[in-house]
Each structure stands twice: as C-alpha cells, then as structure tokens.
Amino acid sequence: MDHLSRIGVFIAVAKQQSFAGAARELGITSSAVSKQIQNLEYDLKTKLLNRTTRKVSLTEEGALFFERASRALEDLHEATEALNELKSKPRGTLKISAPRAFSNMYLVEPIARFAAKYPEVTMDVSFDDRLINFADEDFDVLIRIGALEDSSMIARKLADVPICVFASPAYLQQHGTPTTPEELAAHNVLAYTRNKGAHEWRYKCPDGQERVQSLNSTFRADAAEMMIEAACRGIGITICPALFVHQEVASGKLIQILDDYETWPMRHLYAIFPPNRYLSTRVRLFIEHIDICCNAALKPV
C-alpha cells in the first residue's frame, strides 16, 4: 500500500476512533489497518495515535496531520470528480437553498427544467428564508437576496434587486401619501418579522446622504406573500423587493411611492458557495441556468 493510501487509512481510523471501525469501513482486516498506521508513523517519524484497549485518539501531531491531510484528500477527490464530469454528464447530489417567496415566484419552473435536462443529478431543494451556516450544513449553493457582507463567502451576483416602497390606492386615499421618509413615522408600515434588526428603513436621499427612519406597524408577518396581500387590502405600506410585486403594480393594486429615495445598501440576488470548495460541473451548470432564467424574468417595475 502506498503512502497516499496509508493516509486514507489513518483518516478512517481518526474518524471512527477505532481500528475495527476503520477496517469495516475500508473492507480490510484490523491487523492490516494497524500495520498501515505503523508504517505511516514510521515514514513520518511521528506518533499520530494514542492507543488503549478501549479507545483510539489523536496525538497533538496527529490532530494537525488529520486536519491538513483530510483537506488534501478532499481536494484530490474533487479534482478526480471534475475530470470524470468532463468525460460524462453531470451527476451526483445538488443541494440548494433559496428564499421561499422569491423561489415560488421565479425558481420553481427553472429548477424543474434543470432537473429534467440533467436526470443523473439528484436534486435536494429547500425553499427557506433562515440563515444558513455552511460549516453546519452541507449545501452546495445558496440563492439569497441581500447586501453581501461576509467576505469569506464566494458569491456570484445574478441580478439587482431594488427594495422599494408600495401602498394601495385605497390606503393612500384614506391616510394620505407620504412625500418624505420622515412622514412614514405616521403610517402603518408592515413589518417583516424574519428581519432580526429594528423596524426601520435605511435609505439614501437624492443628494447622496444616507439616513435611517424608524417605522411603526400594527401588522407583522414572516411571509412576503402575506405582507403583499395586506398591502393590497389597504392595511398598510410595504417596503419589499420590487420584483415581488410586478403583477400587483401592473394591475394597479399597488403604487410605488417615495421613488426619489433609494433603499441602502443596495440589494442583489446572489448565488453563494462555501469557501474552499471546488465548484462542480453540476453546480456551475445550475448557476448558469438560474442566471439566464432570472435575468430573463426580472424586469424593472
């Protein structure tokens, strides 16, 4: 067995914390596992594992080697996968998370078309607005709307997503039309409860100044669809992505107001990838597909 194979045996032992467990995983005998670990330690001139009758644990040197070696083997595996995908159709699992309201409006059909085009790709799709930590969950790509703040993430901007202020004609007739952001304080501005910060509007004035306006609300919801319906019914004003209300604006159910003021910072639609991960062919093809579909569908209000 060569040096690289011995490293693979060591990683299996470290993960299983057991020679027997590693042997079962690798399909070899426990004695063969023990022999390869001895040979690896001899080659490295370093003790990697503490052995007792009940437990196998990493030494300090072993823990360092495990972290680096695991990453290196993963890179080799991904490189091999890339070569295989160049020779054949994309395959494997593609795990995606995208915001619920946006996905229901714009992604359901494109994702289904992608799945039909590449039947050897196993799709695992989640429509959810929650925050996701790549370190805790094994997603391949996140589709998100926002202002990208985490510079450690790898992201591709798919489209601009202006956040604008809308109200129904009935609401404006009854309560008046605000002409400045400050006047919003006297209005019922629907609150999106998945936003963890204060109920406020951050905006940029026509002269370029950035300001914040505190807001009041008697209607709170955690779903964009509910807030849009409430706005159409004249319950209050909504501040939301313009692409969410294309139909309502086109039909006259909602009117954009305060359009001289710009929500700040600007929001965009992103495809986000975990850092230090190879971008597989299936992920690349999916993002290119979604990019084309979104830019064809998202038209300014």
pLDDT tens-place string over residues 276-286: 666 788 888 99
pLDDT of 191: 96
pLDDT of 44: 86
C-beta of residue 184 within 8 angstroms of C-beta of residue 215: yes
More confident residue, 81 or 288: 288
Burial (0-12, 13-18, 19+ Cβ within 10 Å), 52? exposed
More confident residue, 244 or 75: 244
Residues 191 and 125 grouped into a single domain = no
pLDDT (average), residues 69-94? 75
How far apart CA 284 and CA 278 sit, in angstroms, is 10
Residues 154 and 271 grouped into a single domain = yes
Residues 137 and 281 grouped into a single domain = yes
pLDDT of 67: 87
- Give the structural domain span for 136: 92-161+267-297
How far apart CA 49 and CA 85 sit, in angstroms, is 37
Digit-coded pLDDT (tens) for 214-256: 999 999 999 999 999 999 999 999 999 999 999 999 999 999 9
Q: Give how many domains the chain has, as a whole number.
A: 3
Digit-coded pLDDT (tens) for 40-71: 888 889 898 988 777 889 998 888 988 888 88
Identity of the residue numbered 158:
L
pLDDT of 300: 53
Digit-coded pLDDT (tens) for 145-200: 988 765 566 888 898 999 999 999 999 999 999 999 999 999 999 999 988 788 99
97-111, 121-135, 255-269: least confident range: 121-135
How far apart CA 161 and CA 158 sit, in angstroms, is 10
What CATH number has the domain bearing residue 26? 1.10.10.10
| CA dist 246 → 160, 268, 282, 293 (Å) | 15, 17, 31, 16
What CATH number has the domain bearing residue 276? 3.40.190.10
What CATH number has the domain bearing residue 193? 3.40.190.290
| CA dist 68 → 7, 47, 82, 252 (Å) | 11, 16, 21, 59
- Is the model's pLDDT at 138 over the cut of 90? no
